[in-house]
Each structure stands twice: as C-alpha cells, then as structure tokens.
Amino acid sequence: MMSDAALPDIPLGRRVVLRYRLPAGYPQPLTDVIGELVSMDPPTVRSANGQVVSVAADRIVALKALGPRPIRTKEIRALEAAAANGWPGIEHAWIDGWLVRAGRGYTGRANSAVPLGNSEGPAELGAQTLHRIGEWFTAHGLPLLLQLPDRLAPVSPGWNSWSETSVLGVDIETIVLPQGPSMVRIAPTPDPAWLEMHRFKGEAPAAQRVSRPVPVLEVLTAVQDGEVGFASLGLPQPIAIGRCALTTAPDGRRWVGLTCVAVAAEHRRHGLGSLVCAELIRWGHARGATHAYIQVEVDNAAAMAMYHDMGFVEHHAYRYAAPEGTR
C-alpha cells in the first residue's frame, strides 16, 4: 500500500496504470485501470470510455506512468475537421472528400485542400480528383496546395513538402489555469493594434528582414459553426496577443484552438504567452470546450517548450505539399 508521500510525482494529463486493492467480498483482491491522470488528491484516472475512478492512497498498490495513448486515425480526422472549421478561409467547397479553401492567399491553412471526408484509410488523390481541385484553385487565383495530416493522405511521388507542423492537444480538465484577475481582454474582432502586432509577430516593423503580408481580416474572423475570440494584453499597445476558435469535431468533442500567439520582443520569457493562452483556454472552457489544440512548426523549439510546460502533448502532425516546380 502507498501513503500520500509515497505516491510518484506524475504530471496531470499523463497516461497511467493504477493498480489498487478492492474491498472485501470481491472475487479478486486487485484490479487495474488505465487512463488519463486527472487528479492526485485523491489519485483519479479517467479511462478511455470516460469512466472516472478515484482511489484513496492507502488502497493503491502501484501507480505508473505509461507512454502516450496511441492516436487513432479517426481522432486525427476529427481534430483536423474542428481545426478546419476554426480557420476555414473565406470560401470553401468539398471535392471528392477534400475540403478546399480560399482566403485571398493569406496563410496556407486558408488556401489549401485537406482530406477530411474519407472515413477509412488514406484519401485517394486520383488524376480526376487532382484535376478538379486544381481547377477550383485556379478559378480562385491560387496555386494548388495540399495540407496533408498524418495517415489521412501521403505526399505524392514527385511532390515537394514543407512546413512540418505538430498539432498538440490537451484535456482542459487536466491543466491548472491561473486564478485571480487577469489583464487579458478578449474581443470578438481584432483592433488595428492587434492586427499590426500579428503581422509583425511581435517584432518592430523596422527590424523585419522580410516583407510581411497584410493580414486579411475576413480570414482571421472567419469560423464555421463556432465562435472566435481575440486576446490582447497591455494598453494602449498590446504586448501579447492571441486568437482562439471554438468549434465542434464530428465526434462531438468541443475544441478551442489557439492561433496567432505573439509576444513583443522586449517582453518575452516572462510567461506572457502562457498567460494569454490560459485566458483563451478559459474563454473556450466557459463556452463548453473540453479540449484545446495548438499548431506549431516542429522547428519552433521555444514555442514547443512553452506548450509542453502548459500540459499540451503531441496529437499528430501535418505538412504542406505541392507538385514539384509549382511552389
């Protein structure tokens, strides 16, 4: 048996196996439950079927962290559908199970095709489907661009792929959000100061080495069957910003997706990005979100570390692809 002091230090949200002693009268003395650790006071585990088991420390025989639960293909498709609704572009259509989106060329997500409609295995991209997708993009003045999540569609031979992006997720009930008054404001639309900071990613315009595209307001405020919020911290000019979109996946899970998080260069490494993210998650949770996600390019080590510290874990990845010579 274990005492409170003897319990291992396992972060909430980790997948664990909990072995504990059953009361007298059961045919077996011990049983196990495998699932997500949601509390240590008392130790509480949520199994894959949603059952919540709480056990007093003196009944616990073992509590051990496991590797991440394998993500099923249908879970990838469901989260990608929620994310697509949270950033749908200005115009969109379905072509043979592919969601095609146009947003005046602003951002890859709003101007690409993503395979969401094929419920079994990788999506097919035959010549006829590819031709129809290409025609749609041409009609909207855009090049052919695919967004390819893990296991939903492979990169075709002879195509270029780039911008490997990790999609991180977290069960909101397993993270601790800051308490007390917050100076973060969340509005339904971004103001000019928010747009300027988003465009330059927190850097001074004069320090930019490359030209940054002007944000397209209609892309930023678009949402399909959901709600968006724009966070700002600091007055009169924000020193940290973020965007969130609340949408529902086909499996019924409610997600709040975080995007456009930026902190002014001179105010970084003081926890402001985490604070903005926490308030966006709180905003979504108050509106029914049970989970949160964030999309981060895999080579952005600082952002990855921040989200891991908040409790986010890898769910899947995606990348962009286009025929060779067309990028």
In the block, residue with structure tokens 């499996």: 251
Q: What is the chain's mean pLDDT, rounded?
A: 90
Helix/strand/coil (H, E, C) string of 144-156? CCEEEECCCCCCC
Residue 245: beta bridge partners?
Answer: 228, 257
Percent above pLDDT 70 for the chain:
93
Residue 16: beta bridge partners?
Answer: 35, 65
Answer whether 0.85 is exceeded by the pTM.
no
* DSSP assigned state of 67: P
- For residue 207, what pLDDT is reported? 64
The tokens of 68 are what? 């991440």
pLDDT band at 13 (very low <50, low <70, confident <90, very high): confident
- For residue 325, what pLDDT is reported? 66
